[in-house]
Chains A and B, each alone.
Chain A
Amino acid sequence: MKRIILPALLFSGWLFLLSTDIPVGENFLPAIGRFFSPFQGIWHNVHPVDASFTIKGKTKQPVKILFDERDIPHIYAQSMEDAVYAEGYLQAANRMFAMDITTRAAAGRLSELLGKRTLAYDQKARERGYEKSAIEKAKNWETFEGNKALIDAYVNGVNEYINSLDYTNWPIEYKILSHGPVPWTSVHSALTFTSMAIALCLGESDVEYSKAKSKLSAEDFKLLYEGLNPKESPVIPSERIWDFKPTGATKPTEGKTEKEAIGQTTEDHSYDLNGSNNWAVSGQKTASGFPILANDPHLGLTLPNIWYEVEIHTPDVSVHGVSLPGLPYVVIGFTDSIAWGSTNSGQDVLDWYDISWQDSSRHKYLLDGKYEDATLRPEEIKIRGSKSIIDTIRYTRWGPVTDEGDHKDMAMKWIGHLRSEANDIAYLQKINKAKNLTDYRDAVSAFQYPAQNKVFASAEGDIAISVAGVLPIRPEGLGQYVTKGDSSKNDWQGYIPFAEAPYIINPKRGFVSSANQVPVDTTYPYPMLGAKYFEDYRGREVNMNLDTMHHITVDDIKALQQNNYNLMAAELLPLMLTAVRNGNCLNAEESKYADRLSVWNYLEHRDSLPPVYYELWLDAFEKLTFDELDTLGVMYPEDWKFVELVKEGDAHHFFDIISTPQKKETLNDIACISFTTMVRNYNALEPARKKNWGAYKASEIPHLARFAPFGTGFISTSGGRHIINAMSKSHGPSWRMIVELSNPPKAFVNYPGGQSGNPASPHYKDFLEHYFDGKYYEVTMKKDPDSWTPARQINIAPL
């Protein structure tokens, strides 16, 4: 027996070692036995799985899914339940890891998969109560007639795919993380809603405004932060007459708080860039006589893309567009008689309330002169490879109270938490089968949040745009700053009734449009908050172009979607150049740079060099101008305010550099110093980045989980901030769609990525080259499955 002991120990120890995930720093090395097995592990994932097959599913009738050459599925079903079952299956088969990560991030459950490194992120999500409201939302969805069967069908479709998985066919990300997907529930779908709402409506600058107000003089604060851009061209043109008086708003008895937040702002403001463009032109302005609708939502770009393109046919519905994996239906698209699209409205729908606790136990808080109990909710955060931790979240009248840096002891009142009783699914149900203007207005009346500019065009010739979503009515003066949480009178006073929310139908100018600018002018009876998140240039540029365009063709619209004209540069750069020339400070080399800038056409094309000079100069110019704000830790104003300051010149003390008290600098001095800085910074760039705008910007589309080899690496792209083609480093148009409402409608679409989430698939990123060359794929609906030959096919047979 003795001879067995040593080999037995070594054998079992070796198998144990190869079957165990090994922590390496903050990561985990997957159990390498199965991982390296060529039968089951990573070697197995080199095969794309885009194939034809038949599955047995929980559908009532057989479902056919035909894929075209781009791998777009065309679902043919006899009911919407069967269609969304198939859609759930397809989304999961192509985006399972993305769906999982997205919902984990919203729920605060990333650490269960990724370990300690995401703990801070999870704690923030838990403190903000996203999962709690998603659970309530999912429960409530089922109470609406018809919803339960529909959601169950979708969830079953997703789980059909998950249940088909064993380790061998796990998506590659799961193998690398050595952790498989968990069963899908309606709460996951609700979290998908929440995730999009977080991305689009967390305009939480209350603390920053409060900080600015407390640290700057009243005059400076007004100069930098108050008012709307007088040049702005609102979403709803001024021809719209508002023939109603606002209801609900009353003056509060309690004043606003201007609490000085401690420390620097630590918020992640990546969502600042989440904008979009959309417009619709009437047949009077088009060459064909048919309306044309365009939309390009700007989001963080990843591989796989956030969207999954799909076409659905049932006896009641024929729709094509992009779906959001995790949710049924098409989110942006067209039917055989209408098209619709969305941009973010930028409304402030999140307020922070300063809580006065009774004592350090933080169990009771002051409200209306007495102490109320906070509801304590323990949250267990499971951490892979470590012990779980318990966070106790305190809920007040206003919402959950956070412990986060600048927001410590503040309660979060957010539209996403407040509308858990709403039927979010109704909007999607209605818009996917809308046939005309009446159906469209009925659909957008059901839309809850985040507030969106919903553009519309129909084959009947109508165009329209509506600011859809619930918009809070606040006591006058509240909402922009941190608000006192000790009085119920500081609470929101309802929502703007749908009929009174901004919209316009068939305007005289022959087009509707939006690009995240202010939705209405000052004649609108209700106050609209969101200044920091309104975009001041793209909307103007879109409207200026559409105003002057006639006999518009689809090619004109393609060109407009990819317009690289920087309107802000066109207004600012001549002022900057005048200042630097007046400063009479440039040497011979610097003058050459100025000469090149002075002949620039303001197009931020990837092959152009002046945009590099401009952006470097603007950066240095702004930093020197706002050195006071940097010193105080206060946010910069909106960009149009900076342009106004430069236009008004030396009247403002901001051009004086505070670190040189012995000298009072002027605008010209700032222009000269920053120009020298720009030339120095440009010369210090790596040679590869000096070449042109595309090289300098160095765009890339990363993998969703930041697995670098599965991203794109460097891509040379045109466009940028404040430009219609809003392509920045890794953020930009996530879907481009143009629909001509002919009979049948003809669409031109593309997105940066591909249909498959599998890096081994030829469809993982096959749209990229076309996309960055500005090309589109033409789409016409294929209503008859027998009229075309698919590239592959999946059949779902009822069990």
Chain B
Amino acid sequence: MKTNPMISFLLMIIGVTGLGFIAPWWAAAIWIVVIASITRLNKKQAILSGSFAFGLVWLAMALYMSLHDDAKIISKTGALLGGLSTPLMFAVTFVLAFVTGLLSGWLGSALGQTFFPRKSEIVSPEK
């Protein structure tokens, strides 16, 4: 299945968001691997889609949750974790998600190219 990279990106965002509510945190990473592989994204497309899908969903969700942080729980927890400020807590959250998405996309792309290669990528035995 060859899909527009933008559609793959949207599928990743939907999956990361939906699975975030119902499954362990790493399930979203598996989702990106699956989408990147079955949509046969190339390495660059997969890495960009995966990292930004994961990173942006987590960042957006963290921003949304922080809107209700009247008791400043995030800054207090950051202080407990060695003095991380609230912006740094956001940064850490984004970076963790971004790198997870990046590695997921890369692995998905590699799996896709191995198991679902495009015609141009199939090397004929005669050649």
Contacts and interface: CB of A to CB of B under 8 A. Distances in A.
A169 to B, nearest CB: 13
Chain B residues touching A, range: 35 or more
11 contacts: A10-B107, A11-B103, A18-B26, A19-B26, A33-B25, A34-B25, A46-B68, A172-B77, A709-B76, A759-B76, A764-B71
Interface stretch (A36-44, A94-102, A121-129, A405-413): A36-44
Interface centre among B66, B69, B80, B89 (most CB of A within 10 A): B80
Interface string A1-44: 10110011011001100110000000001001110111111111
A387 interface: no
B73 A760 contact: yes
B33 to A, nearest CB: 7
Interface of A: 1, 3-4, 7-8, 10-11, 14-15, 18-19, 29, 32-34, 36-48, 172, 176, 707-710, 759-762, 764
Interface string B86-99: 00010011001101
Given A33-B25, A38-B65, A172-B73, 19 more contacts: A11-B29, A11-B107, A14-B100, A15-B26, A19-B26, A29-B81, A34-B24, A38-B20, A38-B62, A40-B25, A42-B74, A43-B93, A46-B65, A46-B69, A46-B71, A707-B80, A709-B75, A709-B80, A710-B76
Given A3-B114, A7-B103, A176 B77 contact: yes
Given A33-B26, A764-B71, A8 B61 contact: no
B40 to A, nearest CB: 14
A19 B26 CA distance: 9
A46 B20 contact: no
B73 A41 contact: no
Contacts of B107: 4, 7-8, 10-11
Contact of A14 (B58, B64, B103): B103
Contacts of A34: 24-25
B110 interface: yes
A10 B33 CA distance: 13
Contacts of A15: 26, 29, 100
Contacts of A41: 25
A43 B62 contact: yes
A761 B68 CA distance: 11
B49 interface: no
A11 B104 contact: yes
B26 A43 contact: no
A3 B110 contact: yes
Contact of A39 (B61, B68, B75, B80): B61
A47 B73 CA distance: 9
Nearest to A765: B71
Contacts of A46: 65-66, 68-71, 73-74
B51 interface: no
A39 B73 contact: no
A148 to B, nearest CB: 39
B106 interface: yes
Interface string B108-124: 01110110000000000
